[in-house]
Structure 1
Amino acid sequence: MEWTSTDQQSTITKVELQKKNKHRFNIYLNEEFAFAIHEDIMIKHHLFKGTIIDAARMIDIMQEEEQHSAYLAGVLYLGRGPRSEKEVRRKLKEKGYEGECSDKAIDRLKEHRYIDDNAFAKQWADHRVNFGRKGRNFVRQELAAKGLGKNEIAGAMESIDEDDEYEGALALGAKKWRSASGEYIDKKRKTMGYLLRRGYVQGVVNRVIREVSQQTLEESGFDD
């Protein structure tokens, strides 16, 4: 439906629930289909049969509808798993939401605590160290790639339990040591390289090497 002037008024003559989306309604002005709207925006602006609206109000409603749609897209994306702000912005852009629309949706998601980069960084670090068996260097690179800032990354690094990190490195190191072929020096080189590639710092790697090599000596009966 086209508007010829900003003060032109039209009357809502029909409100129709969409068949494929029970939260969206089709709005008819002067017996013609005009636009579709989410029920939240419809109720907020009292867009019911008989309501009279003008072009200026219509523009405001359409802008708010777009922002609400962006917000719901963000909620849906975050419902599949925790995300950083940068990841959410990228997803909204893919769906065509940018600029002020995206900014307001992000602000609303933050307000409702759906986006919290500090909490996300710590949660990601804990999961990767304990279940992904990754060292802090690897986790730091992942967080940077997800758009986390220096402060958020620093907080996540501080939250990593050093004992948990070492236990993960030791489990991986022991397994790699047993499967590595060659003499002691070969096993050491291969195990160290493997752990360093998984992001463990040199101090943790050295500690693991000392432990697994000592275990090998004890198992061989040469520790006396």
Structure 2
Amino acid sequence: MEQGTESVITSVEQQKRNKRRYNIYVNESFAFSVHEDVLVKYRLFKGESIDNERLQEVIHAEERQEVYAHAIRYIGRSPRSVKEVRQKLKQKGYEQSLVDLTIERLKNEKYIDDGMFAMQWTEHRIMYQSKGRNWVKQELQQKGVASENIQEAIAALDEETELAYACKLAAKKLPSLKGEPYERKRKLAAFLLRRGYTSSTVSQAVKEVTNESLEEWEM
């Protein structure tokens, strides 16, 4: 837009492929497209005048909306830690200031919460992936979750439940192990340790699963 030239929004058209985006025409010519949230916030309606200063505000708002929308899509596919979202936005090449603003907005709107994320991740890995607390702890550390959040999530684990899943996994693994009884026990313990279970949980699980099974095999 030229300085001193009065510019008026002459048309607003909803995009056919993306119903939440609109094409804005100024002085009968296409000027830019915006998300509907930006459209409403800045009153980009037909007949409204728009100068260069206001246009720059709209452009910056649209940039913020783009980063936010990308983050929401990323989170929508799977729960993410704050570090994971930040890294993803940086990989897309967004400016640091825009990334920081987006992260704060997502936190305020409760879309990202490392405390809740740690709880959900721990429960899923224990119950559906048959992983032990040591494995989960290492994963959460890699995802940038603060130690206090990790400790809180681990502390909330029910030890009996964790033991039950360890026993279930051990019972499934035991028939495939070869060797003398003591050798089978050693291999089973090593297997459970690699899955992230603590030594005390492994000891209990091996004892419960092998005592009856190995006695039957020996007979």
- TM-score computed with the length of structure 2 as normaliser: 0.91
SS of the aligned residue for 1:36 comes to strand
Corresponding residue number in structure 2 for 1:53? 50
Identity across the alignment (%): 47
Q: 1:195 corresponds to which residue?
A: 192
Work out the CA distance in 2 between the residues paired with 1:13 and 1:49: 5
The 5-angstrom pairing of residues 97-108 of structure 1 reads 97-108=94-105
| CA spacing shift, 1:162–1:15, aligned 2, 3 Å | same
2:50 partner letter:
I
Per-residue deviation, residues 30-61 of structure 1 (Å, max 9, x unmatched)? 22221111111111111112211221221111
- 1:9 Cα deviation from its structure 2 partner: 4.5
Secondary structure of the equivalent of 1:15? strand
Please show how residues 1-224 of structure 1 align to structure 2 within 5 Å. 3=1, 5=3, 9-216=6-213, 218-219=215-216
Stretch of structure 1 that moved more, 209-218 or 105-114: 209-218
C-alpha distance in structure 1 between counterparts of 2:194 and 2:18, whole Å:
48
CA shift, 1:93, in A, is 2.7
Partners of 2:115 and 2:150 in 1: how far apart? Answer: 8
Distance 2:71 2:158 in 1: 31
Q: CA RMSD in A?
A: 1.9
Cα 1:75/1:65, change in 2 over 3 Å: same
Task: Report the TM-score when normalising by structure 1.
Answer: 0.89
**What secondary structure does 2:24 align onto?**
strand
Structure 1: which 5+ runs fail to align? none
Q: SS of 2:13's equivalent?
A: strand
Q: What are the ranges of 5 or more consecutive residues in structure 2 without an aligned counterpart?
A: none
Amino acid of the structure 1 residue aligned with 2:152: G
Contact 1:84–1:116 under 8 Å retained in 2? yes
Distance 1:148 1:9 in 2: 52
Give 1:189 deviation, angstroms: 1.8
Deviation at 1:137, TM superposition (A): 0.7
Separation (CA, whole Å) in 2 of partners of 1:123 and 1:208 = 24
SS at match of 1:79: helix
Q: Distance in 2 between matches of 1:155 and 1:35?
A: 48
Q: Identify the range of structure 1 (196-205 vs 212-221) with the bigger mean alpha-carbon deviation.
A: 212-221
Moved more, 139-148 or 69-78: 69-78
